[in-house]
Structure formats: C-alpha cells, structure tokens
C-alpha cells in the first residue's frame, strides 16, 4: 500500500524541463506510405523546426508485396537504394530528429542508406519511427552503429494502427526530453515481474486480438499505474508453427485505459 501511494505521488508529480529548447533542430525523415511523415510533421510543428523528407532515386511505389520483395532482394545483395542529396545544410543544426518506418525489424533501407551519406559527429540524433508491431530499439541500435560519433537519444515509436494517439505522445516525448517546455506526468516504476493472472491474460488476449504476427500466450507480467489506466509489459512465448508469426520469446507493451479496449503499443523481441 505504501509503495502504491509512493508511486502514485511520483506519477502525479508535474515536471517541467527546458534544457534543450534553445538548440536548432532539423526534422529529417523517410516515409513510404505517409505514417512516419505524420509524426515528422507533428514534431516540426510542435518545435517550429525545419523539416525535410529523404527521397529515394528509384522510389518504392509498388504494392506492399512488391516493396517486401524488392527490399528482401536489396537486403540479400547489400545493394542499398540510392537516396537523393538533401537541401538542408547540416552545419546549421545541433539536433536532428531522424524518422523512418521499421522494415524487417530495423530502419527502412532508405534511412540506412542515407545515414551512410552524412556525418552527424557531435550532433544529437533523436530517432523516431512507425511500425506495424515494433522495432524501436533495434532501429535505434542501427542508427547508433551508423553514426558512432553522434549522441543518439532514446527515441519515440508508434504503431501505425495507433497513429491517432501520436500527437499527445509526441507532445509528452518532447517535454520529457526537454525539447518543449511544459508539464507532463511521470509514471512510477513498473512492479516486479509475476505470473499473469487469468484476468491479466484476458487483457493481453484482448490487446493482441488476431494480430497475425503475434500468436502468443501471456506468461509473466509487470505493471504500473498511469493517468487514466494501467500499463503492462507482458512476457509471452510464441510456438513455432504455420503462419507469419515469428516463434520465440517477446515482451509486449499493453495499455489498458479506463473505458477503452486494451491495445498493444509495441512488441520487443
Ligand atoms: C518492406 C516492409 C517491411 C516492414 N517490416 C516491418 C517489421 O519488420 N516490423 C513491423 O512492425 N512493421 C513492419 N512494416 C510495417 C511498417 O513499418 C509500417 O507500416 C510503417 O508505419 C510504414 O511507415 P510509412 O507510412 O512512413 O512508410 C514493414 C513495411 C514494409 C513496407
């Protein structure tokens, strides 16, 4: 009980940060179907930052299946798509918000290709991405590997299916990281990991639904109270079998907000 009251107190503590609001920021992004572009526009709008799209010399404008096929061939051959030079002068910026969709568990190939053409040494990179189910952490690892002399911050990622939640999440992300002044709520720590109860397993099942890439059952869970609901991290295991789901262990983040259906926010493998 004492711990609960404590974590509630921390959660309700309003925090204000402003240490990075003076830096000059550029929002650079690649987007094939417009979802990452929406996040990029939101960030630029909130910060009043310059924004530029990364484009590919030979665009991926086929169907989803054609894009998957081309991308698989390019990954196997190592022939990354050529990107057009950007117009912005990178010397003018301290902070680069760098956005991309997740393809095959990491940054989309045009973003990887672009990172090989620039030198972000000494600059701060803030990665952001959109995805079907997840890939935020592996995408950030890819950015760090490509730009080892840059300061790469924790990024923001959102499922394409949850893009309506993005404006509020971006606002919070920018405040939490000191790019925007203002108050935000800081949730408490997650509880210790415990076996999921039947009720929690039902929340997991409702959140994951029939999502084809996740054919898993909840095993363990930890949780924390957030404003208006509960956030869970479920540990789950998917068996090998037919269908598109990848077998193996995974962590699935779930939001269960009052009056709304539970939804998963990302899968971490
Ligand atoms: C070639 C390709 C590979 C993809 N691979 C993944 C993946 O590994 N994991 C995932 O969660 N989503 C994956 N997606 C879904 C995209 O990340 C998602 O639709 C994203 O929001 C698209 O962003 P955009 O509209 O900015 O292009 C993939 C999409 C494509 C086209």
Indicate which CATH number applies to the domain containing 97: 3.40.50.360
pLDDT at 14: 45
Q: Identify which of 132, 137, 264 to mutate to test ligand 1's pocket (most ligand atoms within 8 A of the CB).
A: 132
Q: How many domains does the chain have?
A: 2
Domain containing 242 equals 194-268
What is the rounded average pLDDT of the residues 69-97? Answer: 97
Whole-number Å distance, alpha carbon 103 to ligand 1 midpoint, is 5
pLDDT at 77: 97
- Asked if residue 210 and residue 142 are part of one domain, the reply reads no
What is the rounded average pLDDT of the residues 132-142? Answer: 97
For the entire predicted model, the pTM comes to 0.93
Whether residue 68 has its Cβ less than 6 Å from ligand 1:
yes
Whole-number Å distance, alpha carbon 238 to ligand 1 midpoint, is 21
Residue nearest to atom 10 of ligand 1 (CA): 132
Residue 80 tokens, joined: 């990354």
What is the rounded average pLDDT of the residues 264-268? Answer: 97
Q: How confident is the model at residue 239 (pLDDT cuts 50, 70, 90)?
A: confident
Looking at per-residue confidence, does 211 or 10 come out higher?
211
Q: Domain end: 181, 210, 235, which one?
A: 181
User: 158: closest CA among 76, 265, 30?
Assistant: 265
Could you please report the per-residue DSSP string of 66-94? HHHHHHHHHHHHT-PPPBPPPSS-GGG-S
What is the rounded average pLDDT of the residues 137-149? Answer: 98
- Asked if residue 55 and residue 139 are part of one domain, the reply reads yes
Q: How confident is the model at residue 254 (pLDDT cuts 50, 70, 90)?
A: very high
Q: How confident is the model at residue 213 (pLDDT cuts 50, 70, 90)?
A: confident
Whole-number Å distance, alpha carbon 9 to ligand 1 midpoint, is 38
What is the rounded average pLDDT of the residues 52-67? Answer: 95
What is the rounded average pLDDT of the residues 200-211? Answer: 92
Whether residue 265 has its Cβ less than 6 Å from ligand 1:
no
The answer to which of 56-65, 68-77, 203-212 has the lowest mean pLDDT is 203-212
Residue nearest to atom 1 of ligand 1 (CA): 68
Whole-number Å distance, alpha carbon 107 to ligand 1 midpoint, is 9
Is the pLDDT confidence value at 21 over 90?
Answer: no
Q: Are 118 and 150 within 8 A, CB to CB?
A: no
- Asked if residue 169 and residue 91 are part of one domain, the reply reads yes
pLDDT at 12: 41
Whether residue 160 has its Cβ less than 6 Å from ligand 1:
yes
Tens of pLDDT, residue by residue over 146-178, are 999 999 999 999 999 999 999 999 999 999 999
Bridge partners of residue 238, in order along the sequence: 248
Mean of all residue pLDDT scores within the chain: 91
Is the pLDDT confidence value at 245 over 80?
Answer: no
Whether residue 41 has its Cβ less than 6 Å from ligand 1:
no
- Asked if residue 36 and residue 100 are part of one domain, the reply reads yes
75 located within any domain: yes
Q: Cα–Cα–Cα angle for 31, 32, 38, nearest 5°?
A: 45
- Asked if residue 236 and residue 175 are part of one domain, the reply reads no
Q: How confident is the model at residue 98 (pLDDT cuts 50, 70, 90)?
A: very high
Closest ligand 1 atom, residue 106 Cα? 8
Residue nearest to atom 16 of ligand 1 (CA): 131
Q: What percent of the chain has pLDDT over 70?
A: 92
Q: How confident is the model at residue 244 (pLDDT cuts 50, 70, 90)?
A: low
Closest ligand 1 atom, residue 32 Cα? 27
């Amino acid at each position: 009980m004492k711990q609960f009251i404590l974590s509630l107190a921390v959660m309700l503590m309003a925090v204000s940060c402003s240490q990075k609001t003076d830096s000059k920021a550029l929002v650079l992004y690649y987007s094939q179907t417009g979802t990452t572009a929406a996040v990029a526009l939101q960030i630029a709008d909130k910060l009043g930052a310059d924004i530029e799209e990364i484009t590919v010399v030979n665009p991926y404008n086929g169907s989803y299946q054609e894009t998957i096929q081309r991308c698989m061939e390019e990954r196997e051959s190592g022939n990354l798509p050529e990107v057009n030079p950007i117009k912005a002068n990178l010397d003018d910026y301290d902070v680069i918000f760098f956005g991309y969709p997740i393809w095959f568990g990491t940054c989309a190939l045009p973003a990887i290709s672009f990172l090989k053409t620039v030198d972000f040494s000494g600059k701060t990179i803030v990665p952001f991405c959109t995805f079907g189910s997840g890939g935020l952490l592996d995408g950030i690892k890819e950015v760090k590997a490509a730009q080892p002399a840059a300061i790469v911050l924790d990024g923001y990622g959102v499922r394409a299916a949850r893009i309506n939640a993005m404006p509020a999440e971006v606002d919070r992300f920018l405040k939490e990281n000191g790019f925007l002044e203002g108050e935000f709520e800081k949730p408490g720590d997650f509880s210790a990991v415990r076996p999921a109860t039947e009720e929690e397993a039902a929340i997991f099942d409702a959140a994951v639904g029939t999502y084809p890439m996740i054919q898993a059952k909840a095993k363990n869970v930890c949780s924390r109270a957030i404003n208006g609901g509960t956030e869970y991290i479920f540990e789950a295991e998917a068996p090998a079998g037919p269908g598109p789901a990848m077998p193996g262990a995974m962590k699935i983040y779930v939001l269960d907000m009052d009056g709304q259906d539970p939804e998963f926010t990302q899968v971490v493998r």
